[in-house]
Chain A
Amino acid sequence: MSAAVGKWAALVHRVSGILLSLFLPLHFYTLGSALHGPAAFEAQLAWTQQPLVKLGEWGIVLLLAAHLGGGLRVLALEFLPWRDWQKGLAAAAAAGAVAIGLAFALAL
């Protein structure tokens, strides 16, 4: 695995981590509306049915898949006695598979 690939993987991991951190309070706020009853929760979910919000959700799912793949890569690098190229390949395959699978499933 080249240094450039590792650098990109680290950058994607950091950026996706930051964006997911920003998303989480919004996500929890929406779910927390259920404390005010099913109607309040339903109203929050209705807001999420807008096309742009759905597009954003799809982006968040991809970020989550990318962060998962990148995180598994880091754990493999640190804890598994594999050669570098195998680790990169494994993580890329896992992340790619998850991302493609999700993109497909969410498009259904």
Chain B
Amino acid sequence: MNAKTQTILWVAQRASAAVLALCVVVHLATMIYAVRGGLTAAEVLARTQGNPWWFGFYTVFVLAVSLHAPIGLRAIFLEWLRWRGASRDIAAAAFGLLLLWMGMRAVLGVFR
């Protein structure tokens, strides 16, 4: 992998981290509020169904984590497993796509 691609991955990792820092704070606050008195499907859906703001928020959240997690795992693969080459990139990209697919499925599930 060339230096330019490395730089792009580094920037993507930091930029997604900054987005995620905001998303995680909102997510934690929502969770603390939501779990009080027990978590029910009706409560969650009442908050999210048909709400474009939550839909936008969770879409951004999923996009950011689908970039952030595979880039981080890819670095750990190299550091801890000495895993190099194209197979490492493909595994990381596949995991990112899995998160994107499952994450957007979840967002749609609670929105529609």
A interface, CB within 8 angstroms of B: 14, 17-18, 20-21, 24-25, 27-35, 38, 41-42, 44-45, 48-49, 61, 64-65, 68, 71-72, 74-75, 78-79, 98, 102, 105-106, 108
Contact = CB atoms under 8 A, between A and B. Distances in A.
Contact of A32 (B25, B73, B109): B109
For the complex of A and B, list the 7 residue pairs with the smallest distance between their C-beta atoms, beginning with the closest.
Answer: A34-B109, A31-B106, A28-B102, A42-B41, A105-B32, A41-B41, A35-B109
A18 B108 CA distance: 26
Interface in B62-99: 65, 69, 72-73, 76, 79-80, 95, 98-99
A71 B17 contact: yes
Q: SS class of chain A's interface: helix, strand, loop or mixed?
A: helix
Interface residues of B, number: 38
Nearest to B105: A32
B14 interface: yes
Interface in B16-32: 17-18, 20-21, 24-25, 28, 31-32
A48 to B, nearest CB: 7
